[in-house]
Amino acid sequence: MIFPLRNDLDMAKHEFGHHFLARHGGFETVDVKLTPAGGGSEIVTDRKLETVDEVAAFAEDRIRVLYAGVMAESVVNGKVDQTITIQLINNEAGKGDFMLGRQLVALIRNTRHMDLPLNPRGDAMEADERRLWDETIVLVEKYTAGIDTMATQLLVQGGLTFAKTTLDRHSLIRQYFP
């Protein structure tokens, strides 16, 4: 299967996928923008972490944010098309996000499963990764209408940047995240 080149709307959906899942996960969000090199969704990841469980929970929230970009870009008829998602990861669109997510899954393994022998530890890591992948699909599908609307509005308004103040006041963002 051959996939079309990414366009500005695809990239805007990708960035708003990160933005919506960051807000869902309790991260402070800043701006969303498109640039000639792609785009960006600025997310503040500062969080006081005092226990191993808090570190693992933070890593899970961050993984969902990382996976959400390519998943939001892969939605067809309201559902994440995992074939497209994997293709985007393999074609650089989300490779960096995915690799960082894999490192965080290893962190979860190292905090939760180090008491297991090597093979069961790897199995536990794969189970954690699959669970987080599946949870992210559900969340992206839940927010798809909002992601699509915000991505389209970003392009229609022509500035290619939504600043923090604009996003924080936007009625659609407030509807999803009061």
What are the tens digits of pLDDT across the range 46-76?
A: 999 999 899 999 999 999 999 999 999 999 9
What CATH number does residue 15 fall under? 1.20.58.760
- Rounded to an integer, what distance in angstroms lies between the CA atom of residue 32 and that of residue 12? 8
| 3: in domain | no
Asked whether the beta carbons of 3 and 89 are under 8 A apart, the reply is no
Q: In the prediction, which pLDDT does 86 show?
A: 93
Predicted pLDDT at 60: 95
Confidence of residue 121 (pLDDT cuts 50, 70, 90): confident
Q: What is the model's pTM?
A: 0.90
Residue 6 half-sphere exposure toward CB, CA atoms < 13 A? 26
User: How many structural domains are present in the chain?
Assistant: 1
At 30, give phi and psi (nearest 5°). Answer: -115, -90
Arithmetic mean of pLDDT, 65-88? 95
The answer to whether 146 touches 80, Cβ cutoff 8 Å, is no
What is the residue-averaged pLDDT of the chain?
Answer: 90
In a domain, 116, yes or no: yes
Residue with tokens 């969080």: 47
**Does any domain span residue 1?**
no
Domain containing residue 21: 8-176
Q: How confident is the model at residue 2 (pLDDT cuts 50, 70, 90)?
A: very low
Q: How many CA atoms lie within 13 A of 95 on its CB side?
A: 5
